[in-house]
Amino acid sequence: MERSLHRNKRWRCVAYMVALVTLWNEASAQIRYSISEEVKEGSVVGNIAKDLGIDKATLKDREYRIVGSSTEPLFRLNKDDGILYVSRKVDREEICERSNTCIINIKTVLENPLEIHYVAIEVMDINDHSPVFPEKEKRLEIFESTLPGARFQLQPARDPDGGQFTVQQYKLSHNDHFRLEVKERGEDRKMPFLILQKQLDREAMGEHKLLLTAIDGGKPAMSETIEIVIVVLDVNDNSPVFTKDVYSTILNENANPGTLVIQVNATDLDEGANSEIVYTFGKEVDIHLQKLFHIDPRTGEIKVTGLIDFEAKDRYAIDIKASDKGPVPLATEKSVIITIADLNDNAPEIEVTSFSSAIPEDSKPGTTVALISVNDNDSGLNGKVICYVSEDVPFTLTPSLQDNMFSIVTKSLLDREHQSKYDVTIIAKDAGDKPLSSHRTISVTVSDVNDNSPEFSTNPYTLYVVENNVAGASLFSVSAYDCDEGDNALISYNIVRHGDEHKTITSFLNINSETGDILALKSFDFETMKTFQFQVVATDSGTPSLSSNVTVNVFILDQNDNAPVILYPVSSNGSAEGVEEIPRNVNAGHLVTKVRAYDADIGYNGWLLFSLQEVTDHSLFGLDRYTGQIRTLRSFTETDEAEHKLVILVKDNGNVSLSATATVVVKVVEPKEAFAASDVKSATKNEEENNVTFYLMITLGSVSTLFLISIIVLIAMQCSKTTDYTSKYLQETNYDGTLCHSIQYRSGDKRYMLVGPRMSIGSTIVPGSHANTLVSGMNAVDK
Ligand SMILES: *[C@@H]1O[C@H](CO)[C@@H](O)[C@H](O)[C@H]1NC(C)=O
Ligand SMILES: *[C@@H]1O[C@H](CO)[C@@H](O)[C@H](O)[C@H]1NC(C)=O
Ligand SMILES: *[C@@H]1O[C@H](CO)[C@@H](O)[C@H](O)[C@H]1NC(C)=O
Ligand SMILES: *[C@@H]1O[C@H](CO)[C@@H](O)[C@H](O)[C@H]1NC(C)=O
Ligand SMILES: *[C@@H]1O[C@H](CO)[C@@H](O)[C@H](O)[C@H]1NC(C)=O
């Protein structure tokens, strides 16, 4: 039998194919044909009639047919010529499956006479099938950790063709990791295996695609290729890796909670859970730090949760751990550097390190009162402190050798009496962007030094005392004030007792050294002493003590305590009685006599008025009220009596007036004898009067001089007064009666009348033109 036809010309050549007729030894099969599978429908299998030797002519009479039950016979027998045709496509693999030889037996019947022939048709195999893999694609999942040498069985390809047309070999596309191994499994079954040659790395290549080709033994060979997808399964073999080498950031202090500080990021080359990263603080990170910061385990964001204080710590190094979620997690740590930026959030602090709360007022400028230190916890400019004290105090700050230490010293002299306490406010201000400042006030007390003398409220004191004061009673009191305090202001008063002149006066004065009350130990008599002065010293109790003195000018005021004294007439036994003899022939207006009296008091108290209290004949004698002259009013007549008695009342003008009486008896005598008597009398009288005039001139002169000096002294004393206290001296010469030179002294509403200057001993004043009253200094002798 020949089969040399080319595969693709198969269909056309089948007709010409010479069937190899072999006589079968077996009785049942007389004829044996062989055909290739897949010949065309209508192809001739063989000429059975000819091969059986049946004459073609006989076939006309005899019916030749195939018997069989098959409804769709593979073959058809032409009953006219006995040629067997293929009636439909013969597929060996369909008919015989995988048996090595495929023989179809058919039974033919030739009738008249009946002959049965068995025909065996061998269907010859052709390579009409490619190898077929059971799956289009093969997926293999291999852990990357799988060691080299591991074997993975692959599904073998099947080829319906038999024999040499079945799969003969497998080929694997080129790759680094796998090689192919084919194992014979009896008959012609070949089992392909993938052998891992080199360890896989999912991270390098997660999927490998290999091509496996199965090739059969046909010529030309047919092949089939399948893709083998090798999925490399992840194994947690990679640690997380931080994306940056260094994580560092700057964070402002006092950042609000929730502020994002920095985000760390780590990646893991593994996949799935093996690459899912959880961020945590490293084991070494202490609890305190974990309160300040929080890390989001999922995102790696580090946020502020606590109070960030530059002053507490200015730099943080936090270890962050990134671990994956693999079954055996892998972890990496990285340090995150957080630098804290300072904000001006601390006000300067002022601390008083030493402080003397009281300093003496006589401290020199530059005396240290307190030491202060200032501190600002911020750094840089925010912590640079400028310090000063308020302007209005006599203190200043001087820097000390040590940093941020200052001493508060006095700037000028202090005066406790001016200000005894200072509130010194120290202001400290930093140099930050928004400067903060703080202040502190210290109270400095200026302690007293005895630098003030006592001061009297008025100087000099002028005191008016009415004479006849009660002895032992308080006259008045002096008072001094001392600006110092405590003992330095505790004043004791003393009367200055030295010098002859003062000693006598001051001996009857006493002073209460505490209160300054001045007592007069005796009663003053104006007529004896009209004025005096003394000095009071006020001494404080400081050490050393200071003192000052004041002059007290005392003016004694007159009281009407002296009754008029009749000087003339005075009888030998001392009573105011006298006898005057006048001639009967005197005319009217004849001066009979003059009553003389004096009053030791002054002013109205000493101003005497005369009046007739008793007279025998009112028509005869007249009395001058002011001068005390008694004159005749008319000539005497014969009827007039020879003796007349006149009682003259002398009265002063005091508020409660005092008086005295004088009695003058006038005897009227005959002219002759009276004349002689009158001559003698008038001669002596003139002599007497001349003498009086001479003394008066001397006295008047000296008194005027003294008076002038006194006036000047008084004016000087008044001018030396610094107060508004004004007083006027009115010099007034009163010619009325006995009112002599007087000084009216007005002080405020009060009006005093003084009789002038201190009288010199024994002096006599006869003021007034009439000189009818003598104010004698005879009593004004210091006792
Ligand atoms: C982390 O880094 C990776 C790789 O650089 C990037 O793809 C990812 O977006 C980053 N994650 C974050 C949260 O920044
Ligand atoms: C400043 O720092 C000192 C010492 O560290 C501390 O005692 C003080 O309380 C701080 N002051 C402020 C206002 O924080
Ligand atoms: C009184 O004071 C004056 C000066 O004020 C002084 O000169 C005088 O000595 C003092 N007199 C006495 C007694 O202290
Ligand atoms: C003084 O003498 C007169 C007579 O000359 C007489 O009247 C009078 O009483 C006498 N007075 C006294 C106090 O003796
Ligand atoms: C005189 O005395 C009366 C009553 O005795 C008194 O009211 C009056 O003030 C006194 N006058 C003088 C100037 O003393």
User: 39-43, 383-387, 689-693, 734-738: which has the highest mean pLDDT?
Assistant: 383-387
Q: What is the spatial distance between Cα 368 and Cα 355, in angstroms, rounded to a whole number?
A: 9
Which amino acid appears at position 23 of this protein? L
Q: Is the CB of 346 under 6 A from ligand 2?
A: yes
CA-CA-CA-CA dihedral for 633, 638, 641, 642, to nearest 10: 90
What distances in angstroms separate CA 563 from CA 81, 353, 593, 598, one per listed residue?
Answer: 221, 85, 22, 9
Left if phi > 0, otherwise alpha if psi is -120 to 50, otherwise beta: which for 516?
left
| φ and ψ at residue 275, rounded to 5 degrees | -115, 0
Q: Is the CB of 571 under 6 A from ligand 4?
A: yes
Which sign, positive or negative, has the C-alpha torsion 552, 553, 558, 561? positive
Neighbours of 694 (CB within 10 A): 10
Mean pLDDT of 674-696: 53
pLDDT tens for 100-114 read 678 888 888 888 778
| φ and ψ at residue 174, rounded to 5 degrees | -70, 135
Counting ligands in written order, the one closest to the CA of 348 is: 2
What distances in angstroms separate CA 722 from CA 398, 703, 729, one per listed residue?
Answer: 46, 31, 17
| φ and ψ at residue 292, rounded to 5 degrees | -85, -35
Q: Work out the widest C-alpha separation in the chain, in whole angstroms.
A: 266
Nearest C-alpha neighbor of 492 from the set 528, 465, 517:
517
CA atoms within 13 A on the CB side of 418: 8
| φ and ψ at residue 536, rounded to 5 degrees | -115, 130
- Name the helix (H) or strand (E) containing 729: strand 727-732
Q: Tokens for 275?
A: 């690459």
Distance 708 CA to ligand 3 centre (A): 28
Counting ligands in written order, the one closest to the CA of 536 is: 3
Model confidence band, residue 88 (pLDDT cutoffs 50, 70, 90): confident
Q: Tokens for 746?
A: 């007005």
Q: Tokens for 439?
A: 């202040």
Place of tokens 């109205």: 604
Q: What is the spatial distance between Cα 304 and Cα 259, in angstroms, rounded to a whole number?
A: 5
368-375 and 405-410: which strand pairing?
Answer: antiparallel
Q: What is the spatial distance between Cα 542 and Cα 468, in angstroms, rounded to a whole number?
A: 40
pLDDT tens for 111-126 read 877 888 888 888 887 8
Mean pLDDT of the chain: 81
Q: Which domains does the chain have, with CATH numbers?
A: 2-124 (2.60.40.60), 137-233 (2.60.40.60), 241-341 (2.60.40.60), 349-447 (2.60.40.60), 455-557 (2.60.40.60), 565-775 (2.60.40.60)
Mean pLDDT of 207-217: 90
Residue 361 has pLDDT above 60, yes or no: yes
Q: Tokens for 587?
A: 């005319």
Which amino acid residue places its CA nearest to atom 9 of ligand 1?
A: 265
659-669 and 577-583: which strand pairing?
Answer: parallel
Q: What is the spatial distance between Cα 554 and Cα 754, in angstroms, rounded to a whole number?
A: 13
What distances in angstroms separate CA 530 from CA 148, 533, 550, 585, 782, one per listed residue?
Answer: 150, 11, 20, 51, 11
Distance 567 CA to ligand 4 centre (A): 16
Which amino acid residue places its CA nearest to atom 9 of ligand 3?
A: 549
Counting ligands in written order, the one closest to the CA of 349 is: 2
Q: What is the pLDDT of residue 571?
A: 86
Model confidence band, residue 197 (pLDDT cutoffs 50, 70, 90): very high
Q: What is the reported pTM?
A: 0.51
Which amino acid residue places its CA nearest to atom 7 of ligand 1?
A: 267
Q: Are the beta carbons of 170 and 213 closer than 8 angstroms?
A: yes
Q: What is the pLDDT of residue 702?
A: 67
94: three-class secondary structure by DSSP: helix
Alpha-carbon Rg for the chain in angstroms: 84
Q: Which residues line the pocket of ligand 1, CB cutoff 6 A?
A: 243, 265, 267
Which amino acid residue places its CA nearest to atom 14 of ligand 4?
A: 573
Nearest C-alpha neighbor of 462 from the set 712, 708, 720, 755:
720
DSSP 163: G
Q: Are the beta carbons of 266 and 332 closer than 8 angstroms?
A: yes
How long is the chain? Answer: 783
Q: What is the pLDDT of residue 695?
A: 58
Residue 780 has pLDDT above 50, yes or no: no
